[in-house]
Amino acid sequence: MFATTILTQAFALAATLSGIVSASPGYNQPDYVIRNLNTIKHIYGLTVYPNNVPIIQKGASAVPPGLFNENAAGRISPVGNFTGFDDSIEYFFALAPTPDTNPGKAAIFKAEVVEFTSGCPDVASSVVYLRTGVVDEKTGKLDTSKPTTTLSQVAFWKFDESGAVLNYHAWIPNLQTWTEIGNNVDFDNVVIQKAVPIQLCPQIMKQCTGDNQQYSSVATCVAELEVKPFGSFDEAWGDNVVCREIHVLLTKVRPEVHCPHVGPKGGSPPDNYKCVDIDYSVDYFDDAQLFGAPLGNTFTCGAPLLA
């Protein structure tokens, strides 16, 4: 993050260390710092179960106004690129685990923004710790007798003039390890990998029906997925089983869009493709196309960064 002044940078650092920017009268923060932090906190707060349930059930209409611009776009490594309001909010909220969607009954029970800085009104960066554990589906209470773990996300944010998120560039480290701990499953085990399509395909058949149906039967689905690479949650963007394991969660929100992603081709024409093999050297670095600005401009205060 590049601060416009040393003073602003110092204020942001002090806010990070205190962890209580909006509640600390001792720090004379610019209004935009507090606004941007509160927006980020609000976004991650909606990943906490059961806060995310209304969005899973109702989609974009359940998202509070002012969080994301209607043209929001971003990249989440290692999951992929997302363009538009619906794509963006579905990634942030509908992919957040709920106890009924995983064998470990895991969900996020607390979201803590542990690092934050904002050197100008339209740019910020943050680190969030998403605390996860076994949560009761009905009460939403954490089972404190069971172990907990944490998923982190590092992100850069671009805000529009009203303070809504216009662009984001985020990274989720150790997603595979977190998934294995949360589910108590070793996804590197070949036996487990062979069993996943048997568990996944009935979900696909249940969610994707009528015009959205992708396979003629569970058996056909299993046969198709068994010959595809299993993949890794640390590199989920590709024509593999893991990508479909992730995207089946989104079929509850917009089946007409997401069912093709879990199908045999990983998407549908002309441009609705997610679970397809990509060119790493191109697709992870097409910043100018994704963000609509020259490289080095989007998340830089006082841009351009590059000559």
Res 6 pLDDT > 50: no
Distance CA(126)–CA(102), nearest Å, equals: 28
Distance CA(176)–CA(190), nearest Å, equals: 15
**Can you say how many angstroms the Cα of residue 123 is from the centroid of all Cα atoms in its chain?**
19
Res 302 pLDDT > 70: yes
Distance CA(91)–CA(283), nearest Å, equals: 18
Amino acid symbol at 251: T
Q: What percent of the chain has pLDDT over 90?
A: 86
Phi, psi of 133 (to 5 degrees): -170, -175
Contact of 165 with 132, CB cutoff 8 Å: no
Distance CA(57)–CA(191), nearest Å, equals: 34
Distance CA(68)–CA(14), nearest Å, equals: 27
Q: Give the tens place of pLDDT for each residue, 144-170.
A: 999 999 999 999 999 999 999 999 999
DSSP H or E stretch at residue 272: strand 272-273
Rounded (5°) CA angle 78-129-80: 15
The beta strands (E) that lie in 93-193 are given as 106-120, 123-134, 149-159, 165-171
Mean pLDDT across the stretch 199-207? Answer: 98
Distance CA(117)–CA(10), nearest Å, equals: 10
Return the number of other C-beta atoms located less than 10 Å from residue 302's C-beta.
11
Distance CA(287)–CA(75), nearest Å, equals: 9
**pTM given for the model:** 0.89
Q: Give the tens place of pLDDT for each residue, 30-64.
A: 999 999 999 999 999 999 999 999 999 999 999 99
Res 219 pLDDT > 80: yes
6-184 belongs to which CATH class?
A: alpha beta
Which of 11-15, 21-25, 191-195 is predicted most confidently? 191-195
Contact of 165 with 158, CB cutoff 8 Å: yes
The residue extents of the domains of the chain are 6-184, 190-278
The conformation of residue 64, written as its DSSP 8-state character, comes to: P
What pLDDT, on a 0 to 100 scale, did the predictor assign at position 303? 85
Strand partners, 117: 125
Q: What are the angstrom distances between the C-alpha of 5 and each of 96, 106, 120, 220?
A: 37, 43, 9, 60
Q: Give the tens place of pLDDT for each residue, 99-129.
A: 998 888 999 999 999 999 999 999 999 999 9
Give the lowest-confidence range in 217-226, 280-289, 298-307.
298-307
Return the number of other C-beta atoms located less than 10 Å from residue 27's C-beta.
17
Label residues 41-74 b or e (16+ Cβ within 10 Å = b).
bebbebbbbebbbebbeebbeebeeebbbeebbb
